[in-house]
Amino acid sequence: MDIVKGGLAAAALTLGTAGMVLVGSAESVASAQESPRAGVLVVATTGADRGSCRMQACATLGYALTQAGAGDRIVIEPGTYAEVGDANVVAPALTGLSITSAGGARNTVIDASGNATGLRIEASGVSVGGLTVENAKLEGILAEPPMSSWPATPASPPANLTGVTIAGNIVTGNDQAYDTKLPPTAACPSSLTDADDCGEGIHLLGVSRSRVIGNEVDHNVGGILVSDGGFGIAVGPAAHNLIAGNLSLDNAFDCGITLPGHDPFGVATSGPNTGQPQPAIAGVYDNIVIHNVSDGNGGAGLLDAAPYPGAASYDNVFAGNSASGNGNAGFTLHAHAPEQDVNGVSVVENRFGANNLLGDPDTGVTASTGIMLLSVAVPTSTVIAGNRVSDDVNGIAANDLVTVRGHNFFSDVTNPLVTYTPPAA
């Protein structure tokens, strides 16, 4: 547990630093608007899309992004801004770009109706804060390497972004392409990598050493997603990220915060290293999910999962979170195939109320459950310690391939620890 505690201390320090960065950004925005200066572009409802957006405001974020350079700051005045033609793309050359609002998220709205995403980030070192992003067909905010950099063959180098910060935003009512009349795996055919959920409200895809902090993510298909690829599509690792202090609420069809290994090269599936993780190539690992609230979602409150051979989501820490009223368990671990890795996941000092309200078809457990653990083919060891579970039939439910380590606290729980047999595949 010393490693876990060390990770939590580092996360707390990082979260505190992030808060100071956000305060500094707000002060800088205010001073930037007093007089135009190099490196600051302004967007306003009274602006016009001409010129550089430095001496006079432009009218749309999409146009401002065409005028910006690396390290610039785009300041958006209060108002509602309609995205047109999927124009809100932070291009790969715009490293270190900052996008902030002058009046806060509730007064600064990006309306992405009819567009794929509200904002797509394809550059490292980018920060986005103080916006409401709504009505996109897919993700509200998506950070991913440009598709031209995705590996074309198993021998190609992975793609990756680093140093992205998404903080203090409201991401609501996105995933509009999701078709509730279709089965989940086909419900969002317009999403390349996540056909079952449209990519959630905020999505880090092939992104490492980045932060998603203090956002409110609600009424999307799902909340916050951190992945390394999708449905057999390789992108690159999603590692060393901090997901902290977010509200993920009432995302009706998927999970609140999801860390699935989707890249098929996260674990070697052939050769002398079969079954071993390949962190330089792929995998979702060493991420910290701390002090979030994930309530009322259609899937799990918090999920760590690997769906098929080669997938990996391991050594992730879930700590100090709260999850209640979710369709699946408050925390869920799903490992569905051989030659995957979901070991080393730590679930510590969280609070779980009544969860698994819709039952879990993958485990066959229909009773309310705080923590659900499943591995159908690979022996898996997980730290579950110091959690407080209340108002459930089952506190912790695990099948016999999962080793649970740690002590927990239960209140109004019928079965603190139950071993179940999953249904035949």
Q: What is the pLDDT of residues 182-192, one digit of tens each?
A: 988 889 989 98
Residue 153: partners with Cβ closer than 8 Å, 6 or more residues away: none
Q: CA of 256: how far to CAs of 83, 289, 296, 302, in Å?
A: 26, 12, 8, 6
Q: Which tens digits make up the pLDDT trace of 26-50?
A: 333 333 343 455 699 999 999 999 9
Burial of 27 (0-12, 13-18, 19+ CB in 10 A): exposed
Arithmetic mean of pLDDT over the chain: 91
Region 392-398 average pLDDT:
98
As a whole number of angstroms, the distance between CA 119 and CA 125 comes to 15
Region 360-378 average pLDDT:
97
Say what the pLDDT of residue 36 is: 54
Q: Which residue has the higher pLDDT, 232 or 52?
A: 52
Q: Which tens digits make up the pLDDT trace of 271-323?
A: 999 989 999 999 999 999 999 999 999 999 999 999 999 999 999 999 999 99
Q: CA of 49: how far to CAs of 45, 65, 100, 173, in Å?
A: 11, 11, 19, 27
DSSP code of residue 424: P
As a whole number of angstroms, the distance between CA 279 and CA 205 comes to 15
Phi/psi for 3 (5° steps) reads -65, -45
Query: With pLDDT > 90 as the criterion, what percentage of the chain qualifies?
Result: 86
CB 337 within 8 A of CB 376: yes
DSSP code of residue 136: -
Phi-psi region at 122: left, alpha or beta (left = phi > 0; alpha = psi -120 to 50): alpha
Q: Cα–chain-centroid distance for residue 30?
A: 30
Three-state SS for 417?
strand
As a whole number of angstroms, the distance between CA 175 and CA 140 comes to 8
Region 11-18 average pLDDT:
42
Region 394-401 average pLDDT:
97
As a whole number of angstroms, the distance between CA 310 and CA 330 comes to 26
Residue 14 has pLDDT above 50, yes or no: no
As a whole number of angstroms, the distance between CA 334 and CA 321 comes to 19
Q: Cα–chain-centroid distance for residue 106?
A: 21
Region 146-160 average pLDDT:
94
CB 304 within 8 A of CB 335: no
Give the confidence band of 344 by pLDDT, cuts at 50, 70, 90. Answer: very high
Amino acid type, 375: S
Say what the pLDDT of residue 231 is: 81
Say what the pLDDT of residue 119 is: 98
